[in-house]
């Protein structure tokens, strides 16, 4: 078999198989490398400790702060939206 000519499609298929095997080996190696890396957090960090604030609470605080800043900078009273949204009688 060593002296027989190899067709181009068989050669291409063999190349693709070796590329696939190489890709799988590199992917497995990278996954194992990242798996055995040390943690990115300090050792005294409590993973099971409850969060002080949830994302919803943080967003609510940011929204309230933005609303307070907006109301402080406007010349209208706090009930100006009630007048703007009320239907007009002609």
**Per-residue pLDDT tens over the stretch 37-65:** 877 766 666 665 556 557 778 888 899 99
Q: What angle do CA 87, 88, 89 make, to 5 degrees?
A: 120
Are 83 and 90 in contact by the 8 Å Cβ rule? The answer is: no
What pLDDT digit, counting tens, does each position of 28-41 carry? 999 999 888 877 76
What Å distances lie between residue 20 and 25, 27, 77, CA to CA?
A: 9, 10, 68
Q: Is-above-0.75 flag for pTM? A: no
Cα Rg of the chain (Å, integer): 33
With vertex at residue 16, the alpha carbon angle to CA 29 and CA 35, rounded to the nearest 5 degrees, is 10
């Amino acid at each position: 078999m060593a002296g027989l000519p190899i067709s181009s499609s068989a050669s291409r298929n063999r190349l693709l198989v070796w590329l696939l095997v190489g890709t799988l080996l590199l992917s497995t190696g990278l996954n194992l490398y990242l798996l055995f890396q040390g943690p990115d957090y300090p050792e005294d960090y409590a993973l099971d400790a409850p969060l002080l604030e949830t994302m919803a609470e943080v967003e609510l605080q940011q929204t309230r702060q933005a609303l307070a800043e907006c109301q402080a900078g406007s010349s209208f009273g706090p009930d100006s939206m009630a007048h703007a949204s009320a239907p007009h009688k002609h």
